[in-house]
Amino acid sequence: MSDSSFPGSRQQWLDSEESLRVRLRQELLRRQLEAHLRGRRGTVLDLGAGQGHKSLELAERGHTVVAAEPDDDMRAVLHERIAAAAPEVRDRITVSPAGFGALVAFADRRFDAVLALGVLMYLPSGTAAVAEAAELVAPGGILAIAVRLDVSAVWRPARLQDWPAALVALEQWEQARAGGSDLRYTNEIGAPARADSFDRLVAAASDAGLHLEQWYGIRIAYDLADDEPAPPTEAAELETLIAVEERLGAMDPFRQLGQLAHLVFRRPA
């Protein structure tokens, strides 16, 4: 398998950075990762690092980061942002062009945390990606993935009350499950994408020696751009929104309806 970039949607991805839905996702991922990193500084492999948001954030907190981004143009943006960071942050980040299907570049290394946040939906197989990334997780380390689950891909058009699209999504979901394949869809930035089965991802991680430590739903009450209300204007109101999303995302049944799922696996020490 290999990385699949989305050049037709790259600019839309960069343009969406300041939207509240993206800021909300980044903040929830930050809080959840901190809980599982347990306050320890370590080595991080950020697969599909994109423009470097998480790589820079983790380097600022003292981690040593390899930011792996196979897309040439996105990697150029990554280099620019690293160059603009403080010297002590720059010194903690190494940039690599490696992507899924070419992680042999790290064959002799193991990391305290391997991240694939918002990457698997653009790859041919989520289970193959999990198996490949799991090989690079050190004893006691974590693999964190943020994915679109098939349940979410079906739920979203129904939530938006787009009944024809919801019916098509349900039929596609049933066909995919009957055939043991993945659900395909077009995401909010117009890129073709793939939704994963929760059970198959957990099984793939288990086969690779990792157990599911926790998982979260992201953006449950606050949906995407074409359905989102006016963003909060007061800092306290925004913090309340984040607190609600954080709590909903950590409990059933609400987390199952998140627009993304954040799964954290750990390798026994």
- What spatial distance separates the first Cα and last Cα of the chain, rounded to whole Å? 29
pLDDT at 121 over 60: yes
Could you give phi then psi for residue 80, rounded to 5 degrees?
Answer: -60, -40
Query: 216 vs 24, which has greater pLDDT?
Result: 216
Q: What pLDDT was estimated at residue 185?
A: 81
- Per-residue confidence at 230, pLDDT binned at 50, 70, 90? low
21-66 pLDDT, tens digit each: 788 899 999 999 999 998 899 999 999 999 999 999 999 999 999 9
Rounded average pLDDT over 69-95? 95
Question: Each residue of 161-184: b (16+ CB within 10 Å) or e?
Answer: eeeeebeebeebbeebeeeeebbe
Mean pLDDT, rounded, of the chain: 89
Q: What pLDDT was estimated at residue 13?
A: 53
Percent of all residues in the chain with a pLDDT value above 90, rounded to a whole number: 66
pLDDT at 246 over 90: yes
Place of tokens 């938006």: 160
- Per-residue confidence at 232, pLDDT binned at 50, 70, 90? low
Query: 239 vs 268, which has greater pLDDT?
Result: 268
pLDDT at 225 over 50: no
Rounded average pLDDT over 226-243? 74
Query: 112 vs 188, which has greater pLDDT?
Result: 112
- Per-residue confidence at 1, pLDDT binned at 50, 70, 90? very low
Torsion of CA 151, 153, 154, 160, to 10 degrees: 130
Rounded average pLDDT over 131-153? 96
pLDDT at 268 over 90: yes
Residue 265 DSSP code: E
Q: What pLDDT was estimated at residue 236?
A: 86
117: Cβ–Cβ under 8 A, 6 or more apart, which residues? 29, 46, 48, 54, 144, 145, 146, 262
**In the structure encoding, which two tokens stand for residue 95, read together?**
């940039």
CA gap 218, 117 in Å, rounded: 12
Please name each of the domains of the chain with its CATH number.
7-150+192-266 (3.40.50.150)
- Which of these, 13, 229, 260, lies nearest to 155 by C-alpha position? 260
